């Protein structure tokens, strides 16, 4: 059975994962409207992945005798001034999610809930991957600079980025 502290912390993470899915969805829609087919494909896949992260938490909470709280959908507030700005926000958001997961791990250890601690290790590893992916993409964008040809190639290449093909849990 989950303690109230663990249940509250897990439900907070459910909200964060749901918000993450919405952020990626908003980015996908923007990219699609700008003609960035590859970026849109990448962002739609990431949105689906974040939703699966949320569902995994919901199922865990319910299996452990807690009550998962389904979060409200909140419209993301994003700066759409450029694709570089968009990916910078993506990276910053992934860092925020990592910090949240780390806090959740801390709460599970304080509460001596080793089952939840074990469950969360998947999220810890996932966030290492998410941050690395975002950092790699930003590095590529910085290399491109203002080169339109480079942007075209980047947009074409990102739809085949590894995380797009590894969206299953």
106 marked as binding residue = no
**Model pTM?**
0.90
Dist. CA 54–CA 17, nearest whole Å: 5
Residue 139's CB is within 10 A of a number of other CB atoms, namely 10
CB < 8 Å & 24+ apart, contacts of 95-100: 95/131, 96/16, 97/16, 97/17, 97/20, 97/127, 97/130, 98/127, 98/128, 98/130, 98/131, 100/12, 100/13, 100/16
- Residue 34 maps to a domain: yes
53 marked as binding residue = yes
**Segments forming the whole domain that contains residue 99:** 4-164
- Residue 169 maps to a domain: no
50 marked as binding residue = yes
Q: What is the pLDDT of residues 127-149, one digit of tens each?
A: 999 999 999 999 999 999 888 88
Per DSSP, the residues of 76-128 read: -----S-HHHHHHHHHHHHHHHHHHHHHHHHHHHHTT-HHHHHHHHHHHHHHH
What CATH number does residue 49 fall under?
A: 1.20.1260.10
Rounded mean pLDDT of the chain?
A: 92
Whether the Cβ atoms of residue 53 and residue 123 lie closer than 8 Å to each other? yes
Q: Count up the domains in the chain and report the number.
A: 1
**pLDDT value at residue 124:** 97
- Residue 74 maps to a domain: yes
């Amino acid at each position: 059975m989950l303690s109230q502290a663990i249940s509250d912390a897990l439900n907070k993470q459910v909200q964060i994962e749901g918000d993450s899915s919405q952020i990626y969805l908003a980015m996908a829609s923007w990219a699609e409207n700008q003609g960035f087919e590859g970026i849109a494909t990448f962002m739609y896949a990431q949105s689906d992945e974040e939703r699966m992260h949320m569902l995994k938490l919901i199922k865990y909470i319910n299996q452990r005798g807690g009550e998962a709280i389904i979060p409200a959908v909140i419209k993301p507030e994003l700066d759409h001034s450029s694709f570089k700005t968009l990916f910078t926000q993506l990276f910053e958001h992934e860092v925020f999610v990592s910090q949240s997961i780390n806090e959740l791990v801390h709460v599970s250890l304080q509460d001596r809930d080793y089952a939840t601690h074990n469950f969360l290790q998947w999220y810890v590893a996932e966030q290492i991957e998410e941050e690395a992916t975002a950092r790699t993409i930003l590095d590529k964008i910085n290399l491109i600079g203002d080169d339109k040809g480079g942007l075209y190639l980047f947009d074409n290449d990102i739809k085949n980025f590894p995380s797009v093909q590894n969206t299953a849990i």
